Structure formats: structure tokens, C-alpha cells
Amino acid sequence: MRFFSANTYRWGLLAAGLLAAVSAQAQDRPAPAAVPASAPAPASRSSSAPLRTDMISDAPSDEQSYQKEFVFGVNFNTQGGLLGGASIRASRVLDGRLLRFWSLEGVMLKNAKEDRKSSRIGGTYIDRKTNYAFVLRPSVGIQRILFRKAADAGVQVNGLLSVGPSLGLLMPYYISYDRTVAQKGGQINLTSDEIVSEQYDPRKHTVTDAILDHGPLFSGIGQTQVVPGFHLRGGLSFEYGRYRDAVTGLEVGFLVEGYTKRLLILSPSTLSDTDVLNRKFFPSVYLTLYFGHRS
């Protein structure tokens, strides 16, 4: 009875130790994360559906935000004096970086040898000038976007190339001429002298003291002569602005232009000097300030 009690006591201690070890090991293990009831079950890779492309919003990019462009500008060039002329240009988008355009430009050409003089009564005239020279340049071309600006800021750089005909318009340059002084000399008398307004011809109006002033700009518009020609233009435009539908910028480049005959702007005293004073080819560098809109 005493032996049974000792063995029973030993086995009880052993069982209590095993239970304590198992309980400590279970407490050291991390508990599994609870799965929320509303969470969907993960889909297997074989049953996953492809992403629908029609669910992605197709927001228009800058390239697709307009199809037409219309600008007009003021031209300065090395053949036209302080203010060369004006131009308009209409463009249509062909793709993301290429545009096709037509343009029309009207400028005035001046001879580098023009010499402005003063008359005896305070008027002014250009010595030996017999014609004004105006040019109309219709052209077609392409515009390539080289560097695109950001949506609402920055500078965009475009390359342009265009060709077309040139219509040279020679309009007579008129002066006020005192025939009385030219024939008899003496002092100018505006009330009694015979004063005429006619196209300046140095071979005819030989008495410079009888030239009183230049005539109105369009005095000889009815006698305008047309001289056909051709031009080629290449340039870079720098466009800036904060709005996508507004266009503001400047264009710089070169223009080569030629005509079928010399543009008679200055008329020399002798016919042999006509070709020396006047030219058929007019290369120039230009600057155009332009603004407009897109749609």
C-alpha cells in the first residue's frame, strides 16, 4: 500500500510537468489572422478575368486637344525697313507633331540705296525713287513640333518650311513738282506757280529745287505693275502661353525670293545704271510676332 502510494505520486508529478510544457509551447505560437467576413475569397490565377480596356478613361492629350490653328502677325525683315508687313496663317493638324498650313503675307520692299532728302519748303522725298515695291506671298507648307511645351506653361519650338509664288507690285512713287521754278527759276510761290503731282523720273525732273514733297502713298495705284516671282522660306517659331486654345509667339528665319525681272524701285539718271541699282533676287532674314487661337 505504501509502494502504490509512492508510484502514484511519481506518475502524478510527471503528468503535471508534461501538461505544463505543452501549455507553454502553445502560448508561444502566433495566432492566425482573422479573415473578415466581408472580404472576398482570393481568385485563382487560372480564373482571373482580363482587365477591361473600356473601364480606363481616355483623356485627350495635348496632341489631340485641337485640330485647327489660326494666327496673324507683324513682320520685320532686312528688306523692308522698320516695319515689313503683316501675315496670316491657317494650319490643320495631320498627326501628333505635324501640321499643314497655308499663309498669306504682304510686305514692302525697299532699296538699300534709298536716300531721303528735304525740299526747300520743308517737305521730304526719296532721291531717284520711281516706284514703291509691295509683295504678296501666298504659300503652303508644313510645321513640325520639335519640342512640346507643357499643358499650361513653357515654350514650344516648331520648325517651318514653306514655298509659293511671289507677286511683286510696282506702284508709282509720286512727287509734287513746281514747273514754274523748273522752267524759270526763282522763288517758290505756292499760290501762283504751276505745281503738278506725277511719278518721279530723275531724267525728267532734273531740277531738284523744284521738288516740293512726296505725293500721297496711293496716288498711282491705278498704274500698278505686277511682276511674278517665287519664294522659299524656312524658320523656327517659339510659342508660349498659359492657355491651350491661345497661340502667342515669335518666328525667326530666312527667305529667298526671286523675280522674272528686276524690280525698278530706283530710276537712275542714265539707263545704263538701272541694273546696278535694282535687283531680281531678295534674300532676307525676318522676325514675325504672331498671336491667334486654336479650335
The CATH number of the domain holding residue 194 is 2.40.160.20
For residue 5, tell me if it sits in a domain: no
Give the pLDDT confidence of 57-73 residue by residue, as tens digits. 343 444 447 899 999 99
Q: Which residues, in sequence order, are CB contacts of 112 under 8 Å at separation 6+?
A: none
Q: What is the pLDDT of residue 13?
A: 56
Compute the mean pLDDT over every residue in the chain, rounded to the nearest whole number: 82
Interval 168-219: pLDDT, tens: 999 999 999 999 999 998 899 988 999 999 999 998 999 999 999 999 989 9
Of the chain, the percentage scoring pLDDT greater than 70 comes to 74
Predicted confidence at residue 115, as pLDDT, reads: 93
pTM for the model stands at: 0.74
Task: Establish if 124 belongs to a structural domain.
Answer: yes
Q: Which domain holds residue 185?
A: 61-294
Q: Which residue has the higher pLDDT, 31 or 275?
A: 275
Of all residues in the chain, the percent with pLDDT exceeding 90 is 58
Question: What pLDDT shows up at residue 240?
Answer: 83
Checking if the pLDDT of 157 tops 70, the result is yes
Domain assignment of residue 12, yes or no = no
Residue 206 grid coordinates: 532734273
Residue 56 resides in a domain: no
Would the pLDDT of 46 be above 50?
no
Question: Cα–Cα distance between 257 and 234 in angstroms, integer?
Answer: 12
Number of domains in the chain: 1
